[in-house]
Amino acid sequence: MHTTRGAVLEALERDEFYLVYQPIVELATRRTVGLEALVRWLHPSDGELSPATFIEQFERNGAITDLGAWVTRRAMAEASEWHRAARAKDRELYLSVNVSGFELQQLTYSPALVSMCNDFEHRCQDLRVEIIESEFDLGGPDVRANLATLRKEEVRVVIDDFGTGASTVDRLLEISADAIKLDASLIADLEDNSERFASIAAVVAAGDLAGVEVVAEGIERESQHDLLLRAGCRFGQGYLFSRPVRAENVPTILDV
Residue ranges that bind ligand C2E, judged by CB under 6 A: 22, 38-39, 50-52, 55, 68, 71, 98-100, 130, 160-161, 184, 218-220, 237-239, 244
Q: Per-residue x/- mask for Mg ion, residues 205 to 244, rule CB under 5 A? A: ------------x---------------------------
Residue nearest to ligand C2E (CB): 238
Of residues 55 and 203, the one with the C-beta less far from ligand C2E: 55
Binding residues among 46-105 for Mg ion as defined by CB under 5 A: 98
Find the Cα–Cα–Cα–Cα dihedral 130, 135, 139, 145, rounded to 10°: -30
Q: Which is nearer to Mg ion, 9 or 101 (CB)?
A: 101
**How many CB atoms are closer than 10 A to CB 81?**
12
Chosen from ligand C2E, Mg ion, none, partner binding at 232 (C-beta under 5 to 8 Å by type): none
User: Judged by CB, which is closer to Mg ion: 126, or 217?
Assistant: 217
Nearest to 71, CA basis, from 23, 29, 36: 36
Shortest separation between residue 9's beta carbon and ligand C2E, angstroms:
16
